[in-house]
Amino acid sequence: MLLRRSASSVVARRAVLAAPARPSRSRCLATVTSASAQPIHIAAISGSLRKGSTNTGLLRAAAKNLPEGVTFEIVDIGGLPTYNDDIWQDTNDESVIPEAIRTFRAKVLKADALLFACPEYNLGVTSALKAAIDWGYCPHGPNVFDGKAAAIVGSGGGGGTARAQTQLRTMGPNMNVYFVNGPDVALKRYENPQWFSESGDLLDPKVEGSDLLDPKVEGWVKNKVADLVTLARKLKA
């Protein structure tokens, strides 16, 4: 007896043969492990230029508790002038702009993520931080913030920098950065117990004269950095 296969059965069999093999569990786990191990470099920017700044102190605290595979640099913005388009001399050639601006832009450009320490002056971001943002994204040269993950910490007066942090977030879409969702770290620096030393470093108020980090605030900062790194790795994947 001659058996004939229908056209539909042939098509079905070809479809089965052509279907890609499902990746093994070990391969899936390897992919996840690879993504979580991606090296991440964080450029940290403090909006305060004060020598004993508690905002810069928060960045130093963040640097003490980095996830595996993460590097961290506090990028100095003290030498940046107020933005002036004339400095570019009608060109996109970065060689014409001052070295402090070139250095700032280069350091931010090579970073995978941004950690802002955001003080609050007169209910808004500081002029120093605004100048850094304006020099990072301007009509000339590449946007050095483009596509990066970002997070915010801050220390200030009675409002704890909440309004300045909100203002900074409103700039995010134009900078094309992706801010970590969730509550930002906004400390009230003048309330008791005191969290900071005279040099601006975060201390443990339960141990007088201690150079240990306050465990509660340390946890807030550490969790914020961990969330930032997670987002940065997702964006790189």
**Sequence-separated (6 or more) residues with CB below 8 Å from residue 89:** 96
Token pair 């004939």: residue: 4
Q: Given this model, what pLDDT does residue 203 score? A: 78
Intervals of the chain under pLDDT 50:
1-20, 26-33
Q: Given this model, what pLDDT does residue 29 score? A: 42
To the question of domain 41-236 being in CATH 3.40.50.970, the answer is: no
Q: Which of 70, 138, 71 is nearest to 104 (CA)?
A: 138
List, for residues 69-118, the tens digit of each pLDDT value: 999 999 999 999 999 999 999 989 999 999 999 999 999 999 999 999 99
Q: Given this model, what pLDDT does residue 217 score? A: 79
Q: How far apart are CA 57 and CA 51, in angstroms?
A: 10
Q: Given this model, what pLDDT does residue 39 score? A: 97
**Cα–Cα separations (whole angstroms), residue 27 to 22, 33, 106, 118, 236:** 10, 10, 37, 42, 19
**Sequence-separated (6 or more) residues with CB below 8 Å from residue 11:** none
Q: Given this model, what pLDDT does residue 188 score? A: 75
Q: Given this model, what pLDDT does residue 201 score? A: 87
Q: Given this model, what pLDDT does residue 118 score? A: 96
